[in-house]
Structure formats: C-alpha cells, structure tokens
A and B are shown apart, each in its own frame.
Chain A
Amino acid sequence: MANTHPHILKGQSISKNFGGLQALLNVDFEVEDGMIFAIIGPNGAGKTTLFNLISGFDRDYSGEFIFEDLSLSQFPPHDITLRGIARTFQNVRLFKNLSALENVEVGCHGWAAPIYTRAIFGLKSSRREEHTIKAHALEVLDFVGLADKKETDVESLSLGEQKLLEIARALAAKPKLLLLDEPGAGLNDREMNNLEEIIFKNKKNGITQIIVEHNMKFIMSISDEIMVLNFGTKIADGSPEIIANNESVIEVYLGKEQDFVRTE
C-alpha cells in the first residue's frame, strides 16, 4: 500500500516548562501511520502534558510537532482538530448540558461547521445537514455500543460509558490521529475488553492512535510501539518486547517487573 506519510506525527525536541518545573525536555518521537503508539511512565512524567501540546490546548512550548507535512505549533485547538487530530480527556470532560447523542453531534463540528445564514434562511439545506450530522453521530454511538443511551443525560451514564462516549465524540470528528488519555482508567474487565475491541477496530479503519495508559497488561497487549517517559524525558522506546526487557524502564517501575510479562 502506497503511503505518503510513513510518519503521521513527529515530535522534534519538545520541551515544556511550567514556571521552573521541567515537564518535558527535548522529547523526540515519531508515530507511524496506522499504528497504536503508547506512552507510559509514572505519574508526572509528562504524558498528559504532551497530549495538551499536540492538541493545541497549550501553545507555550519549544520544539515542533509535524503532522503529516505540517507544523502544528501555530494552530489553536479547533484548527488542529480540523486537520485531523481528535482527543479524549483523562478526567472526562463531556458537555453535561447536552444529551449523549448531542455530545457526539458536537464532535461532528469539524467537518460540518454551521453557518448562521444557512441556519436562518436555508430551511432545506440546514435540515439536510442536521440529518447528516445526526446519522453520523448515531453510527458512531452504535460503533462504541452506546446506541441505546442516545437520549441519556451524560451524568447518569456510568464512568465506563462516559469514557466510551468521549471516544465516540472524538471519533465523530473523523480524525486521522486519535489521542486517548487513559481510556482504561476506572473501567471493569468487560468494559476493558470492549475498549480493546474498539481500539483494534479503529486501527482497522486506518486511524492512528496514541494512547496514554497505566494498565501495563493492556498496553503490552495492544501497542505496536511504546515510548516511556520519566520526569519529562524519554528513557526508552520500541516494541513491547524491547520495552519489557529494557533495564532503565524496569528500574523506573522497580518491583513491578512482573507486570511486563506478556499475557496472551
């Protein structure tokens, strides 16, 4: 298969300083198109910070992200989403005043940006557009298995369902690159299996995924490549096998070696 962008995202010497605290220091990485790329590391290693920089949440950093052939450094979050990067949040940040379906419909905003004149004057065209948005949102809700919860208030969904809804909302944007920030935190075994299935289906659909996660078993079984961060610096990267046998990684996770045993 011809691939114009063997690397969909590159980070080049990314550094971020929070008033004296070095959250990230000269981090370089490359994410290949279509892969599942995991970022692991202890708390405070800079994983979520890295997500915030990629998604344009925080534009005060040095270094450069190259998405496809484009530098992302100058773009505000909505522009980055329009270019094909969607994300979820570590602490669920759904729109609580909207229903589950409406949350996913908001996710469609990137490719179906509304226009006032059309909403006011274009009865037919705006109705058609609403119809397209709704159909797509329903499809995505069904994809993550929440079709029967479409009218539900997001606050009455379980944490697991809220996490899935966040993924659905991000997928609705039709992203090329999906950033998942601890998608498995707080999920039970059954939900975890469902999540794994969704991630594999995304991969099959050609979506590149970067995943921050603490659950080692999960990460080791799904990732194509893993990057390990510790105190803002990259200490290792490579395939799960390489990471599992990396001395400095084992040192960071001292006493947790058994977690790296791959269970298949």
Chain B
Amino acid sequence: MAAIFLFPLVFPESYWITVFIYVGIYGLIVVGYDLLLGYCGQISLGHNALFAIGAYATAIATTWFGWSPIFGIIGGICITCLIAFVVGIPTLKLRGYYLAIATMGFAFIVEALIRTQYLGGSSGISGIPHFSVLAYTFDSDRSYYYLVWSIVFLAAIVCLRIGETALGRSMKAVHTDEEAAGCMGINVAKTKIQVFVFSAALAAIAGSLYAHYGTVISPNSFNIMLSVKLLLMLFLGGAGSIYGGLIGALILFALPEFLEHMERLELVLEGLVFMLILIFLPKGLVGGLNQMLNLK
C-alpha cells in the first residue's frame, strides 16, 4: 500500500503513472464486483454498461449542461444505481448462466444506445473537463493518481468491512444455498439487489473517473470485453478477497505494458496465464499465496 502511494514520488512524470491510474479505475470496479460475484455468487456481464452509464452521465452533465464535475459524478452514481435497481429486480431472479446472459443483454442495449448519434456516435463525447473540487483542479497525472487511489483504498476498506460483517456472511450464505439462506431470515432478493446496486455505484464512480481523466470517451472503451476482463481480474487475483481483484487488475494492465513489443502475443499470453491460474490456483493468486503461507 505504501508502495502505491510512494510510487509517483519515486517515478515522477513516469508513463507508468498513467498505467496505474487505469489500474486504479478498473480496480475500483473489480472491488465492487468481488462483493457481487466473489461473495454473493451473482455473475454479471453487464458491468461494462454500468461503467459506461457512469462515464456518459458525467460527460453529458458537464459538457452539455455545464455542471461542475463533482455534481456530474454524483448525478452519474444516482442514475447508474437507479438503472441497476430497475434492471436488477427482474434479472437477479435468474441464476448462473441465465443471469450472465440476461445482464449481457442489458449491456448490449446500453452499448447500442451509446453508439447512436444522439450520444456522439462512435466518436463519443469529447471536451470533458478535468475533475475539480472547489478551486482545485486535478489536471496533473500525479494529482489524479492520488485522487483515484485514495478512492480505491476507501472503497476497498468499505468492501472489506461489509465483507466481514453480517452483510458479508449473508452474501456468502446466498451464494451457497439461497433457500437455506431464506430460512435463516435472510431476504435473498433484497440481499442480491443491494449488492448489485452497490457494485453499480462503484462502477459508476470508476466510469466518471475514467471520463474526467481521458476527457474523451467513446463506445469502444465500454464493450463487453470489459466485463470479460473484470472476470479475468477477479479470478486471477482471487475472488472473495477484495484486494485480490486489485492485484488481478494490476497484472492484467501492467502485463501488456511489459509485453509492448510483442503485441500479437498479448492475448495468447493472457489467455494462457488465465488458464494456468484457474487450473493450478483455483482460489486465485491471493488464495494460492495464503495456502502456501499456511503450509509452512
């Protein structure tokens, strides 16, 4: 953790700062996604859409209506949560792959909508202002880095707290046996919708951070591959551990940078790493590491 906060001081002006900002943004989604999938066992392939809604909401609010970014972000969170709530009620009644397919359907609808001319078409929305609070503008990479990672750590701590309390246990209970969980007094439908909306809020924050950092957004950044990558990050790092997803995000975004010169091999290597980890470390890197430490 200290390493992450010292990093920009040791390597100022580094290209890696940009990489790490994106690691943080995607890590933020994964942290919430872990509560949904790792704890509660509900798979969503629609998180790219929630991320997109957060990004587009603040982009539209700030560029078209001249809102200040902070209100754009808050508006984005509200609208994303509302949409997640409405979408979640019918879809979360489904289980397993049915839920995956239904949420994917939602993602396709959102993707089709943001590709329409009304929302900027395939070139998206540009001229999004930098994030600013009161008089301070986060226009340098280093300031944005600290902003993003502060939010990530805050979110991770909150998620860990949720995971440790009765909320986390009720999610895990719903994960293993919905009917038995119901007989323990757990409102299964409510548990699922709450965690879905909560993870949507984090995806929306990540989306708006993404929009205000790049200042340009286009539909290509929000396609279904993003949801697939979320799955990769989560299982790579270890589902159900919260910070495992962050490590997964780090590997998935930092690895391609190392392999820059062998771009064609990128997907092959990613796929290979993913398969090997699932076969040999089904609990992810964090789970595997814990196991090794316990053996000693």
Q: Let me know if B175 is at the binding interface, CB within 8 A.
A: yes
Question: Which single member of A55, A97, A107, A111 contacts B172 (CB below 8 Å)?
Answer: A97
Once A105-B166, A113-B185, A173-B185 are accepted as A-B contacts, the answer to whether A57 and B194 lie under 8 Å apart by CB is no
Chain A residue numbers with a CB within 8 Å of B175 are 97
Query: How many Å lie between the Cα of A77 and that of B170 in the bound state?
Result: 15
Min CB distance B113 to A, Å, is: 29
Q: Let me know if A231 is at the binding interface, CB within 8 A.
A: no
Q: Are A114 and B185 in contact (CB under 8 A)?
A: no
Once A96-B176, A169-B184 are accepted as A-B contacts, the answer to whether A119 and B169 lie under 8 Å apart by CB is no
Question: Which single member of B167, B176, B186 contacts A119 (CB below 8 Å)?
Answer: B167
Interface residues on B, range: 20 to 34
Q: Mark B108-137, 1 if CB is under 8 A from A, else 0.
A: 000000000000000000000000000000
Q: Are A77 and B182 in contact (CB under 8 A)?
A: yes
Question: Which single member of A56, A78, A111, A126 contacts B186 (CB below 8 Å)?
Answer: A78
Q: Considering the complex, give the chain A residue whose CB is closest to the CB of B169.
A: A106
Name the residue in B177, B182, B184 with the highest tally of chain A Cβ atoms < 10 Å from its Cβ.
B184
Once A57-B179, A97-B175 are accepted as A-B contacts, the answer to whether A81 and B184 lie under 8 Å apart by CB is yes
Which of B157-165, B204-212, B230-238 interfaces with chain A? B157-165
Q: Are B165 and A98 in contact (CB under 8 A)?
A: no
Question: Which single member of B158, B166, B180, B194 contacts A93 (CB below 8 Å)?
Answer: B180
Q: Let me know if B268 is at the binding interface, CB within 8 A.
A: no
Which of A16-24, A82-90, A221-229, A255-263 interfaces with chain B? A82-90
Question: Which single member of A86, A94, A120, A133 contacts B166 (CB below 8 Å)?
Answer: A133
Min CB distance A140 to B, Å, is: 13
Question: Which single member of B164, B173, B188 contacts A95 (CB below 8 Å)?
Answer: B173
Q: Are B187 and A120 in contact (CB under 8 A)?
A: no
Once A97-B172, A114-B170 are accepted as A-B contacts, the answer to whether A106 and B186 lie under 8 Å apart by CB is yes
Question: Which single member of B164, B184, B194 contacts A110 (CB below 8 Å)?
Answer: B184
Q: Let me know if B183 is at the binding interface, CB within 8 A.
A: yes
Query: How many Å lie between the Cα of A57 and that of B176 in the bound state?
Result: 16
Q: Let me know if A38 is at the binding interface, CB within 8 A.
A: no
Q: Are A93 and B162 in contact (CB under 8 A)?
A: no
Min CB distance B233 to A, Å, is: 21
Q: Let me know if B78 is at the binding interface, CB within 8 A.
A: no
Q: Are B165 and A119 in contact (CB under 8 A)?
A: yes
Q: Let me know if A76 is at the binding interface, CB within 8 A.
A: yes
Once A108-B166, A119-B161, A119-B167 are accepted as A-B contacts, the answer to whether A98 and B172 lie under 8 Å apart by CB is yes
Q: Is the interface of B mostly helix, strand, loop or mixed?
A: helix
Chain A residue numbers with a CB within 8 Å of B183 are 55, 57, 77-78, 81, 86-87
Min CB distance A160 to B, Å, is: 19
Once A97-B175, A97-B176, A106-B170 are accepted as A-B contacts, the answer to whether A114 and B165 lie under 8 Å apart by CB is yes
Query: How many Å lie between the Cα of A87 and that of B158 in the bound state?
Result: 33
Query: How many Å lie between the Cα of A24 and that of B49 in the bound state?
Result: 48
Chain B residue numbers with a CB within 8 Å of A95 are 172-173, 176-177, 180-181
Question: Which single member of A106, A113, A133 contacts B181 (CB below 8 Å)?
Answer: A106
Chain B residue numbers with a CB within 8 Å of A130 are 164-166
Query: How many Å lie between the Cα of A57 and that of B180 in the bound state?
Result: 9
Name the residue in B165, B172, B173, B176 with the highest tally of chain A Cβ atoms < 10 Å from its Cβ.
B165
Q: Let me know if B198 is at the binding interface, CB within 8 A.
A: yes
Q: Let me know if A157 is at the binding interface, CB within 8 A.
A: no
Q: Mark A91-129, 1 if CB is under 8 A from B, else 0.
A: 001111110001001111111111010011000001001
Chain B residue numbers with a CB within 8 Å of A119 are 161-162, 165, 167
Query: How many Å lie between the Cα of A106 and that of B172 in the bound state?
Result: 9
Q: Are A89 and B165 in contact (CB under 8 A)?
A: no
Chain B residue numbers with a CB within 8 Å of A98 are 169, 172-173, 176
Query: How many Å lie between the Cα of A110 and that of B188 in the bound state?
Result: 12
Q: Are A81 and B185 in contact (CB under 8 A)?
A: yes
A121-161 with Cβ < 8 A to chain B: 126, 129-130, 133
A29-74 with Cβ < 8 A to chain B: 55-57
Q: Are A93 and B185 in contact (CB under 8 A)?
A: no
Once A93-B177, A114-B166 are accepted as A-B contacts, the answer to whether A109 and B186 lie under 8 Å apart by CB is yes
Chain B residue numbers with a CB within 8 Å of A113 are 166, 185
Given contacts A56-B182, A98-B172, A130-B164, 13 further A-B contacts (CB under 8 A): A77-B182, A78-B183, A78-B184, A78-B185, A81-B185, A95-B173, A95-B176, A98-B176, A105-B166, A106-B181, A109-B166, A110-B185, A126-B165
Listed A/B pairs (21) with beta-carbon separation below 8 Å: A55-B183, A78-B185, A78-B188, A93-B177, A94-B180, A95-B172, A95-B180, A95-B181, A97-B172, A102-B169, A105-B166, A106-B170, A108-B166, A113-B166, A113-B185, A114-B166, A114-B167, A120-B161, A129-B166, A130-B164, A173-B185
3 A-B pairs with the lowest CB-CB distances in the bound complex, closest first? A110-B185, A77-B182, A114-B166
B residues with a Cβ closer than 8 A to A are 158, 161-162, 164-167, 169-170, 172-173, 175-177, 179-188, 194, 198
